[in-house]
Structure 1
Amino acid sequence: MAANFLEPQANAALISRFFTLMPDTQRRWGTMTVGQMLVHCADQLRVSRGEKPLTSFRVPFFLKPALKWFFVTQLTEFKRNMKTLPELDAKARMTPPISFATDHATLIRLLNPASYPAGGIEHPLFGHLSAQEFGEITWKHLDHHLRQFGA
C-alpha cells in the first residue's frame, strides 16, 4: 500500500517537501521548470476534482477498471519521462503558470484533504476511485515530481 496524500502525516510530509522548492530549483530529468511542475500537479488535482475537463483522451467504461488496477495496484512509482496528457502538458494545454509564489500557493490549497469527498471521486480515466485509491495514486504522482526536482 502506497502513502496517501489525504492522510494527515503523508499530507504534511508532501507539503513540507513542496516548501523546499525554490523558483530556481533545477530538474533532474524531463523538460518542465519547477514552476511548470507546480501547475502540472495542480492541474492533475483539478482534473480529479472535475474542474479541468479532460477532452484529449477518452477511456471506454469497460477499460477503466483495468487502467485503475494498473495505476493503483501495480505501478509502485511513476517512471522518469512518462508521457502525460495534453491537458497536463506544459507544451500543450496545461494551465499557464502565473508566478512561482502564486502557483505554489494554489497547489498547497489544492492539497487540503478536507476539500475532497470522503467517499472518493469520479475520475475521467479511472472511473470511481475510493478516497484511499485517489489518495495513493495522487501521492505517487506528486512524489514523482518532487523526486524530479530533488525534494
Structure 2
Amino acid sequence: MKQTLDDPKLRAELVARLRRLAPESQRRWGKMTSHQAICHLSDSFHDMMGARAISSVATPFSRTFVRWIALHSGLPWPHGVKTRPEADQEIGGTRPVEFSQDRRQLEALIEQFASRGGGDFQPHP
C-alpha cells in the first residue's frame, strides 16, 4: 500500500520522528546537517505548494521511467545526486537560523500540505 501524508497516523509518526531530531543529530546519509535537512524539506513543501519558483530538469523519460524506479522499485537513492540550486541550503535554499523555530515551521508545512488533499500542487521538478 502506498504511504501518503493523507494518512493521519503516518503523519503523526513523521512528526514524532521530526521532533526527535536535534541540532547535533548525526547524519545517516548524505552531507546535510539535521538543521539543513529541515530547511531543505521546508523549501520542498513551499515549492510544491507554489510559494517559490522552482526550476525543472524533468524530461518525459524522468517523469515516467525514472520516477517509477525512484518511487516503486525499492532501490536506494544513489549517493551524490545534486539537488536543485534553489533547494540547496548552501546555494539558494533557505539557510538554517534557529533549529526549533525551523522545525516548527516544517511541522506546520506538513499539516498544511496534507490539508490540501492532493490537489493544486506544482509539478515535481
Q: What TM-score does the superposition give when structure 2 sets the normalisation length?
A: 0.79
Identify the residue that residue 129 of structure 1 maps to in structure 2: none
Partner deviation per Cα, 1:52-80 (whole Å, 9 max, x = no partner)? 2113x3435x4434454343333555344
Identify the residue that residue 8 of structure 1 maps to in structure 2: 8
Give the counterpart letter for 2:32 in structure 1: M
Q: How many residues align?
A: 122
Q: Are the equivalent residues in 2 in contact too, given 1:23–1:35 (CA < 8 A)? A: yes
CA distance in 1, matches of 2:64, 2:31: 31
Q: Which moved more, 1:89-98 or 1:78-87?
A: 78-87
CA distance in 1, matches of 2:4, 2:79: 21
Q: Are the equivalent residues in 1 in contact too, given 2:48–2:121 (CA < 8 A)? A: yes
CA distance in 2, matches of 1:84, 1:74: 21
Q: Are the equivalent residues in 2 in contact too, given 1:2–1:76 (CA < 8 A)? A: no
Q: Which moved more, 1:84-93 or 1:100-109?
A: 84-93
Q: How far 1:43 sits from its partner (Å)? A: 0.8
Partner deviation per Cα, 1:91-121 (whole Å, 9 max, x = no partner)? 211111221011101100011021x244363
Change beyond 3 A, Cα 1:70–1:52: farther
Partner deviation per Cα, 1:116-151 (whole Å, 9 max, x = no partner)? 2443633142xxxxxxxxxxxxxxxxxxxxxxxxxx
Q: Percent identity?
A: 25
1:1-150 equivalent positions in 2, closer than 5 A:
1-55=1-55, 57-60=56-59, 62-63=60-61, 64-74=63-73, 77-112=76-111, 113-114=114-115, 116-119=116-119, 121-125=121-125
Change beyond 3 A, Cα 1:9–1:70: same
Change beyond 3 A, Cα 1:76–1:119: farther
**Relative contact order higher in (CA < 8 Å, ≥ 6 apart):** 1
Change beyond 3 A, Cα 1:121–1:74: farther
Change beyond 3 A, Cα 1:20–1:111: same
- Structure 2 unpaired stretches of 5+: none
Q: Are the equivalent residues in 2 in contact too, given 1:54–1:124 (CA < 8 A)? A: no
